[in-house]
Amino acid sequence: MTKRALITGITGQDGSYLAEFLLSQGYEVFGLVRRTSTVNFNRIEHIQDQITLIPGDMLDQTSLQLALQQCEPQEVYNLAAQSFVQTSWTQPVFTGDVTALGVTRLLDAIRHVDPAIRFYQASSSEMFGKVREVPQRETTPFYPRSPYGVAKVYGHWITINYRESYNLHATSGILFNHESPRRGIEFVTRKVTYNVAKIKLGMADEIRLGNLDSRRDWGFAGDYVRAMWLMLQQDEPDDYVISTGQTHAVQELVEVAFDYVGLDWHDYVKQDPRFMRPAEVDLLVGDSSKAGKQLGWEPQVSFEELIHMMIDADLKILQAGERA
Ligand code: NDP
Ligand code: GDR
Q: Which pLDDT band holds residue 220 (cuts at 50, 70, 90)? A: very high
Tell how far the Cα of 176 is from the centroid of ligand 2, in angstroms: 11
Topology match between the domains 4-178+219-242 and 185-216+247-284+301-319: no
45-83 per-position pLDDT tens digit: 999 999 999 999 999 999 999 999 999 999 999 999 999
Q: Which of 13, 174, 177 to mutate to test the pocket of ligand 2 (most atoms within 8 A of CB)?
A: 177
Domain ranges of the chain: 4-178+219-242, 185-216+247-284+301-319
Reply yes or no on domain 185-216+247-284+301-319 having CATH 3.40.50.300.
no
- Domain range 4-178+219-242, CATH architecture: 3-Layer(aba) Sandwich (3.40)
Q: Which pLDDT band holds residue 227 (cuts at 50, 70, 90)? A: very high
**Is 90 exceeded by the pLDDT of residue 323?**
no
Ligand 1 atom closest to the CA of 123, numbered from 1: 44
**Is 90 exceeded by the pLDDT of residue 324?**
no
Residue 264 is predicted with a pLDDT of 98
**Is 90 exceeded by the pLDDT of residue 104?**
yes
pTM strictly above 0.95 = yes
Residues with a known catalytic role = 124, 126, 148
Report the share of the chain in percent with pLDDT over 90: 99
Tell how far the Cα of 217 is from the centroid of ligand 2, in angstroms: 11
Query: Mean pLDDT across the chain, nearest whole number?
Result: 98
Report the share of the chain in percent with pLDDT over 70: 100
Please give the torsion angle defined by the CA atoms of residues 58, 176, 300 and 255, in that order, rounded to the nearest 10 degrees. Answer: 120
Region 267-292 average pLDDT = 98
**Is 90 exceeded by the pLDDT of residue 175?**
yes
